Structure 1
Amino acid sequence: MSAQEDLFVGVDVGTGSARAALVTCGGEVLAVATKSIQIWYPEPHFAEQSSEDIWTAVCQVTKEVIAGFDIYRIKGIGFDATCSLVAIDKQGNPLSVSPSANHEQNIIMWMDHRAESEVKRVNDTKHRVLDFVGGKISLEMQIPKLVWLKNNFGASYFDLAGHFFDLPDFLTWKATSSSSRSLCSLVCKWTYLVEEGGQGRGRWPRDFFQQIGLSDLRDEQIGTDVRMPGSLVGNLSKEAATQLGLHPEVRVGTSLIDAHAGTLGMIGCNAAGASQNFTERLGLICGTSSCHMAVSEDSLFVPGVWGPYFSAVLPNMWLSEGGQSASGRLLDHIISSHPAKELFKDKSLPEITKELNEIVANLGAGVDMINLTRDVHVIPDFHGNRSPLADSERSGMITGLTLDTSEKNLAILYLATVQAIAYGTKHILDAMQSHGHKFSCALICGGLAKNALFVQTTSDVLGIPVLLPQELESVLLGAAILGATAAGAYPSVQEAATKMCGGAARIEPRNGSQEFHRRKYEVFLKMLDDQMEYRKIMEK
């Protein structure tokens, strides 16, 4: 790092924490800070947060990462966050979304599943906008949540509302006072419609809103100023600059959803022998849940896969987005709910996971280790199936259970679950490739990228190399790329990604694993079919 090199801040708000990183123009992460954020669960299937709590955490972690640096070297800041719905009243204050009437709780989280009946009504319309979300809108998206608010709080609720933000756009609003929206958030989660040949010009589908009971939702509440990710929102407001510990000349980039920031932060990675064609790279962002990102030059429609979304990550390219509603969260659940967890005493889940990886390795090597799960099969849809079945009522399945409560039994079940998540990814990859996508490698980031067993298993199951970025903080790097582009350090986010993403390790599929995984994947598909048969029998 040169003495006068420009610096950029990337801020990521995930499910359970706010994080910030200080990043150089060349993509080197100099400092990272993390602060937990609160989640409320007022009723079953409800998950809520507070925008004030989140902004306080954002300010704290930003101040922490810039401590000791000359703030006038910091030229730009970018934000990403989970795709959660934020309600703000006309005075700019939090507007409660909670049945508890607690006004602090003004965010319906992405994983909140309260809108079960509303999502069915939305999908029953068969409207053209649903083609851009794989044929069915998800509970994780904002439109069903808005219908729920209307149905449960009445039409007067919309009279009180000044803004409904996606959480990433709330952060740029707090930073600049600009109510501009990111095209990423709107096309991915709000049914903002950009069609092939539209030259990037979009519109709100007013006829669709009429059909689902949102005719009184005003454009200014959901966005009229729509911008490309990485484009300039404006400078920090004086108030926000003071809160963040920065100076008001810092430029703010248009935001991204967190998984999309992870895609941007690793899509330009270099690895020996790997194609540099962005369209041949499947991006895996694996944390609490998993997202499967693919860009294409043309709009490719894949049933059960969200998109295609215009310019959702890279300008003038189409994004397809698959996903698994529970991955890291599922592994934590499998560990926490097994009787053998008590044998690990007071160790944290990451510590237990590390020990389970060691137990698995000690039980066998290579193909022998893989074969430990030949009689244990898992369907990982414990929180519904996001892709490619797009069925929120899907549930998890395990076959091969015994009365064994030992550490070994937990290790085998854990390994079977790691494999099952990889089979879910293969299911999504197969759907994408059957509709025009072609992948020569996968890139992986997020918390599960730090789990070597998970990474190797993913490569084994997919049958293609997995590129593991040297900079594991891909999401934070992607956020910083937004700030660098907005500040003019690079002419486009593509150029910034190529220059800032750095190198990657290449993990190849292990020899001898293909036939075992082919057979287990066959069982996986059979179990998916069987679950539907069980449902039909019980509905008779």
Structure 2
Amino acid sequence: MHSERQTSVKYYVGIDVGSASVRAALVDEFGTVVMHAEQPIQIWEPQPDHYEQSSADIWAACCAVTKKVICDVDASQIRGIGFDATCSLVVVDKQFQPLAVNSQGQNNRNVIMWMDHRAVSQVDRINVTQHRILSYVGGVMSVEMQPPKLLWIKENLQESCWEKAGYFFDLPDFLSWKATGVTARQQVLSQQRTDQCIELWQLLNRSLCTLVCKWTYSSDGGWDDSFWKVIGLEDLVKDKYEKIGNHVLSPGEPVGKGLTPEAAKELGLPEGIAVAASLIDAHAGGLGVIGADVRGHNLPCENQPITSRVALICGTSSCHMGISETPIFVPGVWGPYFSAMVPGLWLNEGGQSATGKLVVGLTLSRGLDELALIYLATIQAIALGTRHILEAMEAAGHHINTLFLCGGLSKNPLFVQMHADITGKPVVLSKEVESVLVGAAILGACASGDFASIQEAMAKMGKIGRVVRPNHEHKRFYDKKYEVFLKLVEHQREYRSIMKS
């Protein structure tokens, strides 16, 4: 009976490319992680603030971990595959070969990592324009987004990279293209205006998630020509955005005709299985938890729309994902982005890029008690920061009553309880800690056609584990601490202003 049930189960592969490693999971149709594997990837730091990777190294790691997680199942039961990754920039030439993003001419190093800060002067100049498109990124563009990186390449690697570049991919899009895309030989055959040419154009698609969140694409108006012209990248407008994407898919939509024979062989998967339009890694984590079925848990969000929830993905940095039916502009918070995570809904994305920087009241003592106090203060500072973000979102129009946590820090009981106590909201933990991988698998499940929508797949594959409720006994104490926290934030801004001047 057990073997019969197993052979009827449908499986999906989720692949997550982080900063230092690639992970894969085999996830069944009920959202259970059956197998999991991980492999490190290389990072080069040729000079301060420059971080580079190799797309070939990343793809090889994707293939290795995928083969590990599928080795014990019948390949015919695997229905789809989904990718998520960091929002790093991948550069290839017109023949889809890696192109160096460095002055050393090392073509294998063709990825500028998300955390690379080489484009500081470029992003400053972009922000000075005060272009209206910046209102969709909290008013100020981050150096970690793609336009400043593209501008840096044009200004510093004009002949060696900019002029030779065929395509610029966000890393999640590169992976879905690698699984479904055309080869250089097929491109040569497609130069004439034929159906093949149209097919080529469609296979060079991009995910709405990456383009909207990191490239300034507008889901209602597309690319804004005036923005690219005013920042000095009018070249992209002239070629009708072919290099950065002019065919856009919503997360979970099937890409092309599925897995190509070449990619299928490299991944160890069946040819033609569904490949989904990708997501940024944090957004995949949000997808893996925010839509879970909460019936029977007596939570305030049970009879409320999904917009009453916020997903908190806690790792090296923390991302706060809130969704709404209408666009909400929150000062200092990225978005609103339409359909960037959940199709049909707007997304706001808050974050703490380095947690625990506000810790006050340190003493010179080095005893264990003082160390424990520093640890507690750090965790409380992170939770107070979360409350600050939530209150900014609520002041702008969000109605939030429940937090959904995932990621490494969600395993920490004190971290979770402090978030419940300080925000005053219940915290829902995912049954599967690897929610990012579940989110990637949900994409593959949706692309396969086994679920009618992303929302249905989220509800059936995102499973609730533990619910942590706030302890209201110390509410007054944490309210006072929050008052202090807000003053510290205000003072820190003043100190930064003094040092800048």
SS of the residue aligned with 1:83? coil
Unaligned runs of 5+ in 2: 182-202
| 1:320 CA displacement | 0.7
Distance 1:259 1:539, change over 3 A: closer
Q: Is the 8 A contact 1:433 1:439 kept in 2?
A: yes
Deviations 1:138-192 (A, max 9, x none): 1121111111111211266322111111110010011111321000110010000
Match of residue 252 from structure 1: 275
Amino acid across the alignment from 2:410: A
Match of residue 283 from structure 1: 311
Q: Is the 8 A contact 1:270 1:504 kept in 2?
A: no
Match of residue 97 from structure 1: 101
Matched, 1:56 2:60: yes
SS of the residue aligned with 1:504? strand
Match of residue 226 from structure 1: 248
Distance 1:521 1:243, change over 3 A: same
Equivalence map 1:170-319=2 (5 Å) = 170-177=174-181, 178-194=203-219, 198=220, 202-217=221-236, 218=239, 219-233=241-255, 234-271=257-294, 272-274=297-299, 275-276=301-302, 277-319=305-347
Equivalence map 1:122-521=2 (5 Å) = 122-154=126-158, 157-177=161-181, 178-194=203-219, 198=220, 202-217=221-236, 218=239, 219-233=241-255, 234-271=257-294, 272-274=297-299, 275-276=301-302, 277-327=305-355, 380=356, 396-521=357-482
* 2:80 alignment partner, one of 76, 80, 83: 76
Amino acid across the alignment from 1:179: L
| 1:539 CA displacement | 5.3
Separation (CA, whole Å) in 2 of partners of 1:411 and 1:50: 41
Amino acid across the alignment from 1:289: S
Deviations 1:81-108 (A, max 9, x none): 1111111111212112234433222111
Distance 1:513 1:115, change over 3 A: farther
Separation (CA, whole Å) in 1 of partners of 2:369 and 2:62: 41
SS of the residue aligned with 1:61? helix
Separation (CA, whole Å) in 1 of partners of 2:497 and 2:210: 37
SS of the residue aligned with 2:311? strand
Separation (CA, whole Å) in 2 of partners of 1:472 and 1:242: 30
Amino acid across the alignment from 2:19: T
Q: Is the 8 A contact 1:158 1:216 kept in 2?
A: no
| 1:397 CA displacement | 4.8
* 1:11 alignment partner, one of 1, 10, 15: 15
Separation (CA, whole Å) in 2 of partners of 1:126 and 1:290: 27
Of the structure 1 ranges 454-463 and 527-536, higher mean CA displacement relative to structure 2 is found in: 527-536
Distance 1:241 1:190, change over 3 A: same
SS of the residue aligned with 1:240? helix
Amino acid across the alignment from 2:315: G
| 1:4 CA displacement | 1.7
Q: Is the 8 A contact 2:178 2:263 kept in 1?
A: yes
SS of the residue aligned with 1:249? coil
Pairwise CA RMSD: 1.6
* 1:106 alignment partner, one of 110, 113, 132: 110
SS of the residue aligned with 2:235? coil
Separation (CA, whole Å) in 2 of partners of 1:416 and 1:305: 25
Separation (CA, whole Å) in 1 of partners of 2:115 and 2:293: 33
Match of residue 25 from structure 1: 29
Separation (CA, whole Å) in 1 of partners of 2:114 and 2:407: 17
Amino acid across the alignment from 2:350: G
Separation (CA, whole Å) in 2 of partners of 1:462 and 1:114: 36
Amino acid across the alignment from 1:70: D
Query: TM-score scaled to structure 1, two decimals?
Result: 0.84
Separation (CA, whole Å) in 1 of partners of 2:341 and 2:312: 14
Amino acid across the alignment from 1:103: N
Amino acid across the alignment from 1:229: P
SS of the residue aligned with 1:321? strand
Deviations 1:268-297 (A, max 9, x none): 223301224210001101112111101111
Deviations 1:8-35 (A, max 9, x none): 1011111221111111112121111111
Deviations 1:473-505 (A, max 9, x none): 111111111111111100110111111112232
Deviations 1:21-79 (A, max 9, x none): 11111212111111111222222222221111111111111000001211111110000
Q: Is the 8 A contact 1:266 1:501 kept in 2?
A: yes
SS of the residue aligned with 1:43? coil
Q: Is the 8 A contact 1:269 1:504 kept in 2?
A: no
Separation (CA, whole Å) in 1 of partners of 2:379 and 2:156: 39
| 1:531 CA displacement | 2.1
Match of residue 188 from structure 2: none
Amino acid across the alignment from 1:417: T
Separation (CA, whole Å) in 2 of partners of 1:285 and 1:497: 16
Separation (CA, whole Å) in 2 of partners of 1:100 and 1:397: 40
SS of the residue aligned with 2:25? strand
Q: Is the 8 A contact 1:75 1:249 kept in 2?
A: no
Amino acid across the alignment from 1:445: C
| 1:324 CA displacement | 1.2
Deviations 1:441-486 (A, max 9, x none): 0000111111111111111111100000111111111111111111
Query: TM-score scaled to structure 2, two decimals?
Result: 0.90
Q: Is the 8 A contact 2:293 2:460 kept in 1?
A: no
Of the structure 1 ranges 40-49 and 444-453, higher mean CA displacement relative to structure 2 is found in: 40-49
Q: Is the 8 A contact 1:48 1:108 kept in 2?
A: yes
Deviations 1:365-400 (A, max 9, x none): xxxxxxxxxxxxxxx3xxxxxxxxxxxxxxx45432
Amino acid across the alignment from 2:229: Q
Unaligned runs of 5+ in 1: 328-379, 381-395
| 1:247 CA displacement | 1.1
| 1:410 CA displacement | 2.7
Work out the number of aligned pairs and report it.
Answer: 467
Instruction: Name segments (4+ residues, structure 1) moved above 4 Å.
Output: none
* 2:485 alignment partner, one of 518, 524, 529: 524
Q: Is the 8 A contact 2:359 2:377 kept in 1?
A: no
Separation (CA, whole Å) in 2 of partners of 1:46 and 1:400: 35
Separation (CA, whole Å) in 2 of partners of 1:513 and 1:162: 59
